[in-house]
């Protein structure tokens, strides 16, 4: 597997890196065939979705993302992933029309999301649990064998700038603590 593939890690199994299908498992006890590129579970509607986006766009061969199994209760992570692919994010980085409770994408830049929306077509199998039916739909997608989507896209994880501390600060820039452990707000 090329080194740049799947840079964000996570709980997944990588199979055929030239395959055009990746599979997201919601609440389902199912192992796809090793003809798919990668498969793994999705739990949360924010960080979980981000990892899937970053990983699938790193492999340009992946063109389909099958999302299958019972929806994750409360989080509605499967629906939020589908909504991201369909609608993108708003100015507050919230997935537009996502059904999840806290569907914010904060660690990926907009280029990565645009790439995800252009490269990937979702195969929406949310609430489908029939393994034979899922296998059949995945086989159909595999047989389409579309061309790769250009070069691998390695998404940079957005991290806040580290604060430069210019004096002796204990614990945090907002508070100070004396040698015995008494805390007070800095500057007071």
Partner 1 sequence: MFSFTKEQKVFDISGIKIGGQPGTYPTVLIGGLFFKGEPDFDKAKSQLKKMYDLSRRIGNPSMPDFFVRKEEFIEDIVDFIEKSTPKNQPFSVDIIDPNLKIKILEALHEKKLLSRTVYNSIHVGTTDEERKTLKKFTPEAAIIVAFNPKDKSPDGKIEVLANGANLLDKGLLDITKEIGIKKVLVDTAAMAPGDNSGASISAIPVIKEEYGLPTGCAIHNVVEKSNWLDDFKDARKPVDAASNINIPLFGGDFAIFGPMHNSDLAFPMIAWEDILVSEYTESYFGVEPCDFHPRRKLF
Residues making contact with partner 1 (CB under 8 A): 11, 46-47, 73-76, 92-94, 100-104, 106, 160, 171-175, 177, 180-185, 188
Q: Which is nearer to partner 1, 86 or 93 (CB)?
A: 93
Q: Which is nearer to partner 1, 143 or 187 (CB)?
A: 187
Tokens 């799947």: give the residue.
6
**Could you tell me the smallest distance in angstroms from the CB atom of residue 10 to partner 1?**
10
Radius of gyration of the chain (CA): 20
**Could you tell me the smallest distance in angstroms from the CB atom of residue 46 to partner 1?**
6
Q: Which is nearer to partner 1, 63 or 76 (CB)?
A: 76
The C-alpha atoms of residue 30 and residue 69 are separated, in whole angstroms, by 9
End-to-end CA distance of the chain: 56
**Could you tell me the smallest distance in angstroms from the CB atom of residue 184 to partner 1?**
4
The C-alpha atoms of residue 72 and residue 56 are separated, in whole angstroms, by 21
Q: Which is nearer to partner 1, 43 or 131 (CB)?
A: 43
Residues 41, 166 contacting (CB under 8 angstroms): no
Q: Please give the DSSP secondary-structure letter assigned to residue 61.
A: T
Q: Which is nearer to partner 1, 132 or 185 (CB)?
A: 185
**Could you tell me the smallest distance in angstroms from the CB atom of residue 114 to partner 1?**
20
Residues β-bridged to residue 66: 23, 123
Tokens of 93: 């980085």
**Could you tell me the smallest distance in angstroms from the CB atom of residue 43 to partner 1?**
10
């Amino acid at each position: 597997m090329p080194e740049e593939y799947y840079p964000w890690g996570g709980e997944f199994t990588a199979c055929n890196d030239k395959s055009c299908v990746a599979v997201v498992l919601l609440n389902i006890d199912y192992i796809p065939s090793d003809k798919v590129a990668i498969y793994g579970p999705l739990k949360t509607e924010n960080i979980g979705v981000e990892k899937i986006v970053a990983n699938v766009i790193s492999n340009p061969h992946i063109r389909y993302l099958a999302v299958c199994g019972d929806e994750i209760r409360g989080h509605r992570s499967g629906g939020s992933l589908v909504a991201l692919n369909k609608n993108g994010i708003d100015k507050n980085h919230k997935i537009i029309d996502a059904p999840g409770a806290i569907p914010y994408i904060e660690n990926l830049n907009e280029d990565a999301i645009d790439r995800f929306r252009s490269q990937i077509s979702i195969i929406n199998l949310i609430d489908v649990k029939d393994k034979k039916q899922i296998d059949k739909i995945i086989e159909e997608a595999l047989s389409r064998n579309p061309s790769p989507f250009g070069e691998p896209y390695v998404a940079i994880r957005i991290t806040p700038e580290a604060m430069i501390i210019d004096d002796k600060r204990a614990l945090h820039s907002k508070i100070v603590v004396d040698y015995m452990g008494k805390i007070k707000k800095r500057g007071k």
